[in-house]
Amino acid sequence: MAKIGIIGGSGFYKLEGLPVIQEEAVTNEYGTARISIAEYKGDEIVFMARHGASHSIPPHLVNYRANLKAMKDLGVDYIMTTAAVGSLHMLLAPGEFVLLSQFIDFTRQRVGTFFNEVDPNFKHVDVTEPFSGFLREKILTAAKERDIHIHPYGTYVCLEGPRFETAAEISMMRLLGGDVVGMTVVPEVVLARELDIDYATVAVVTNYGAGMAPGKVSHEEVYEVFGQAKVRLQKLIMAALDVIVDG
Ligand code: HPA
C-alpha cells in the first residue's frame, strides 16, 4: 500500500477524528520537521501543519525542504495539501474549493530546489503538469461521491508574502491568467516533484483579491472564512483518503 502524507495549510492543524499514533520531530540535512503519524484503516498517514501547530511560521520562513525531505524519508508516495487563497475572479467566491492544476511563481527569496549546489547529477525537472493527475482524479471522485463542490482546475499564483497584494498586483495576476493567489504552494509542489512524490492541493478561497471588494484584505477574514469551510474540507480530505486506500 502506498503511503500518504497530508500537509495542512493555514487553519488546518490536525486530522480530526484520526487516532494519532506518534508525534515526532524529524531532523534531516535541511532542518527539522514536526510530524504526526495517524492511523487510517490500518495504514499510516503522515500529517504536517505547514505553519506549525500554532500558525507561527510565516509562508516565506516555512522550511519546505526539511518538510518534504522528511516526508520522503518516511516513505511517503502521495501528498495531499490544503491552502487558503485569495480569488482573482468575482465568480469565484469565498468558501469555494479549487483543485489546483497549474501555478505561476512570483516568489523571490526561497530556496526552491534540492539541487542547490554544484553537482554533476543535478537535473531540471519537468513541471508541465505540476500537480499529480492521479491524486487530482481521486480528489474529484471523492468530491463527487460526497457531493462537495470543487472547481476542477485553477491556476495558482504564488507570491512571496507575508503581506497581501496591492490592487494593481491583483489586476496583473488576473491578466496573466491566474485564478487564485497564495503564498505557499511554490516551492512545495516543485520540491515534491524533485523527490518524485505525487502532490495535489485543495485550495480554499477565503477572500477576494485586494481591491476587488470594498475594504481591506484582513488576516482575520481569511481565518474566519477558512474556519467556516473547515468541516467540509476535512470531509473531502477523508473521502479522498478513502478513495485512495480502497483503490
Ligand atoms: N493573497 C495571498 N495569499 C492569500 C490570500 C490573498 O488574498 N488569501 C489567503 N491567502
Q: Which atom of ligand 1 is nearest to the CA of 183?
A: 3
Q: Whose CA is nearest to atom 10 of ligand 1?
A: 85
- Alpha carbons 153 and 101: distance in angstroms, whole number: 5
Give the pLDDT confidence score for residue 119 in this predicted structure.
87
- Closest listed residue to residue 144, CA positions, set 53, 240, 218: 240
Pocket of ligand 1 (CB under 6 A): 84-86, 159, 164-165, 181-183, 206-207, 209, 217, 222
Q: Whose CA is nearest to atom 3 of ligand 1?
A: 182
Question: N- to C-terminal Cα distance for the chain?
Answer: 10
Cell (9 digits) for 19: 487516532
- Alpha carbons 130 and 71: distance in angstroms, whole number: 18
Torsion over CA: 100, 96, 62, 79 (sign): negative
Torsion over CA: 241, 20, 206, 81 (sign): negative
Residue 183 CA to ligand 1 center (angstroms) comes to: 7
> Cα 104 from chain centroid?
14
Residue 210 CA to ligand 1 center (angstroms) comes to: 9
- Alpha carbons 205 and 84: distance in angstroms, whole number: 6
Residue 85 CA to ligand 1 center (angstroms) comes to: 5
32 to 106, 124, 204: CA distances (angstroms): 26, 26, 27
Low-confidence ranges of the chain (pLDDT < 70): 1
Residue 134 CA to ligand 1 center (angstroms) comes to: 27
What is this structure's pTM? 0.96
Residue 74 CA to ligand 1 center (angstroms) comes to: 31
Give the pLDDT confidence score for residue 182 in this predicted structure.
98
Q: Which atom of ligand 1 is nearest to the CA of 59?
A: 3
